[in-house]
Amino acid sequence: MNGPDGKRGTPPLRILHLISSAGFLGAENVALELAVQSRKAGHEVSIAVLVTGLQSGCGLAEEAGKRKIPVTVLPCAGRLDAVVMGTLRERIRKERFDILHSHNYKSNFYTWRALRGERRAWVATNHGRRSGLRLMLYNLADAYVARHADRVVAVSERIARKLRLAGVRRERIRVIHNGIDAERFAGKGPDPGLRESLGIPSHGRVIGTVGSLSREKGHIFLIRAAPQVLQRCPSAYFLVIGDGAEREALEGEAAKLGIRDRILLPGSRTDIPDLLKVMDVFAFPSLLEGLPMALLEAQAAGTPAVATAVGAIPTVIRDAATGLLVPPGDPAAIADSIVRLLENPDAARAMAAAGAERVRSAFSAPAMAGKYLDLYREVLEDET
């Protein structure tokens, strides 16, 4: 009998992914892709999502439902909910999962506490950390908790180095790059009706980005680049997909620069593959990154890309070959690169095609899932 990952005689695994979520962002996307690919390989997979008590919905739960992945939403009363910890602990005991896979600091902590006195294989993935003093304290606490996991996966070499500096043992750290289902983003062209619904005229050139509106994503520098782009390309519109705490600041900056009508902020969306097809250029101005799923998706969609050379982005974009790299926090460089792509469509198409091929060959969801499945087996073999 073929096993769950194509290896003869290997029994299927029972896997639980645990993640704290406030939307359907990069880490949620990775967890869902892992669940989908692992199920295709023959495993029994489910997802548990921790949400705050005030949260009205759960994007990950909705997306998992569409993909027929069993999902449980666990509303938490505050940061540390003893009832939820007890519920999780009881479920682990009852369902006897082979692998627990947590995806951020809150889910790491809940997994660690729920496992007290229990022996289950535990893998934690570090998707990258946000900045700020309060979050720095969370990061330090998370590093302590992560030391107790059987393996800690970093999505980039930079994150792996930080984990080692934080005291996670070198032999427990693995680097596995994110992957996507590239076929979801390939194929059909832009929908004229979608452009119209966004308020973009047929002649408009669209510079777009996707990501949570948080400071480390660097959206402010894209907006500051916009006037320079508009001087050279007056038909440009800037489409900023996502939501978050920086929304008001971004709107204020656009108004101060006199370009509020050219900065479109439609909030979070679920039709990302279609939106990427509307964009003439994908701009990713982040200041701090692991390996961004949004950039992989844009490249898979064949959208010419400009991105900052931070985190693992240079492993995705090879400058002037699969896209353009710029320094972080540099509006002039962002503007110059955007205009370069707009004014040189043949070169832009060539870079986009090369970028799409690179994502398909090096950052596919099946390849990512295969590496995680190998890691799961490695952890289980250590226990025998």
HEC string for 239-278: EEECCCCCHHHHHHHHHHCCCHHHEEEEECCCCHHHHHHH
DSSP state of 78: S
- How far is Cα 360 from Cα 357, in angstroms, rounded to an integer? 5
Pairing mode, if any, of strands 263-267 and 281-284? unpaired
- How far is Cα 139 from Cα 144, in angstroms, rounded to an integer? 9
Residue-wise pLDDT tens digits, 55-105: 555 789 999 999 999 999 999 987 788 999 999 999 999 999 999 999 988
**CATH code for the domain in which residue 30 is found:** 3.40.50.2000
Q: Say yes or no: 152 and 93 in one domain.
A: yes
Q: Say yes or no: 346 and 204 in one domain.
A: yes
State the virtual CA torsion across 247, 216, 135, 244 in degrees, nearest 10. 20
Rounded percentage of the chain residues whose pLDDT exceeds 70 = 93
Pairing mode, if any, of strands 44-52 and 71-76? parallel
Q: Are 342 and 304 in contact (CB under 8 A)?
A: no
**Alpha-carbon distances of 150 from 88, 194, 215, 376, rounded to whole Å:** 19, 46, 32, 10
> Does residue 337 fall inside a structural domain?
yes
Q: Rg (Cα) of the chain, in Å, rounded?
A: 21
Whether 25 has a pLDDT exceeding 50, the answer reads yes
- How far is Cα 71 from Cα 64, in angstroms, rounded to an integer? 7
Residue-wise pLDDT tens digits, 247-305: 999 999 999 999 999 999 999 998 999 999 999 999 999 998 888 999 999 999 999 99
Helical (H) or strand (E) element with 201: none
> Does residue 154 fall inside a structural domain?
yes
Mean pLDDT, the chain, rounded, equals: 91
- How far is Cα 202 from Cα 200, in angstroms, rounded to an integer? 7
Work out the average pLDDT over 347-371.
Answer: 96
> Does residue 106 fall inside a structural domain?
yes
pLDDT at 1: 33
- How far is Cα 253 from Cα 92, in angstroms, rounded to an integer? 48
pLDDT at 135: 57
Dihedral sign (CA 173, 162, 30, 93): positive
Structure tokens at 365: 């969801």
Residue type, 294: A
Q: Say yes or no: 79 and 214 in one domain.
A: no
Q: Say yes or no: 329 and 347 in one domain.
A: yes
- How far is Cα 339 from Cα 334, in angstroms, rounded to an integer? 9
pLDDT bracket for residue 245 (50, 70, 90): very high
Whether 218 has a pLDDT exceeding 80, the answer reads yes
Please state, as a whole number, how many other Cβ atoms lie within 10 Å of the Cβ of residue 55. Answer: 15
Work out the average pLDDT over 350-377.
Answer: 96
> Does residue 136 fall inside a structural domain?
yes
pLDDT bracket for residue 54 (50, 70, 90): low
pLDDT at 229: 98
pLDDT bracket for residue 349 (50, 70, 90): very high
Q: Are 60 and 31 in contact (CB under 8 A)?
A: yes
Q: Say yes or no: 171 and 224 in one domain.
A: no
Residue type, 343: E
- How far is Cα 142 from Cα 126, in angstroms, rounded to an integer? 10
Structure tokens at 256: 């101060």
User: Strand, helix or coil at 109?
Assistant: helix
Residue 36, Cα to own-chain centre: how many angstroms?
16
DSSP state of 329: T
Q: Say yes or no: 219 and 323 in one domain.
A: yes
pLDDT at 90: 94
Q: Are 288 and 269 in contact (CB under 8 A)?
A: no
Work out the average pLDDT over 326-335.
Answer: 98
pLDDT bracket for residue 4 (50, 70, 90): very low
Residue-wise pLDDT tens digits, 171-217: 999 999 999 999 989 877 778 799 999 999 999 999 999 999 999 99
Q: Are 59 and 270 in contact (CB under 8 A)?
A: yes
Looking up tokens 């199920």 gives 39
**Alpha-carbon distances of 49 from 60, 106, 126, 371, rounded to whole Å:** 8, 11, 17, 23
Work out the average pLDDT over 332-340.
Answer: 98
Q: Say yes or no: 194 and 331 in one domain.
A: yes
pLDDT at 7: 53
HSE of 307, CA atoms in CB hemisphere, 13 A: 34
pLDDT bracket for residue 8 (50, 70, 90): very low
Residue type, 230: L
Q: Say yes or no: 321 and 373 in one domain.
A: no
Q: Say yes or no: 242 and 114 in one domain.
A: no
- How far is Cα 198 from Cα 240, in angstroms, rounded to an integer? 11
Instruction: Please tell me the pTM assigned to this model.
Output: 0.86
- How far is Cα 61 from Cα 58, in angstroms, rounded to an integer? 5
Q: Say yes or no: 129 and 204 in one domain.
A: no
Q: Say yes or no: 192 and 173 in one domain.
A: no
The boundaries of the domain holding residue 227 are 183-362
Structure tokens at 267: 């909030």
pLDDT at 283: 98
Whether 243 has a pLDDT exceeding 80, the answer reads yes
Pairing mode, if any, of strands 173-175 and 151-154? parallel
φ/ψ of 250, rounded to 5, equals: -70, -40
Q: Say yes or no: 217 and 286 in one domain.
A: yes
Number of separate domains in the chain = 2
Work out the average pLDDT over 47-56.
Answer: 78
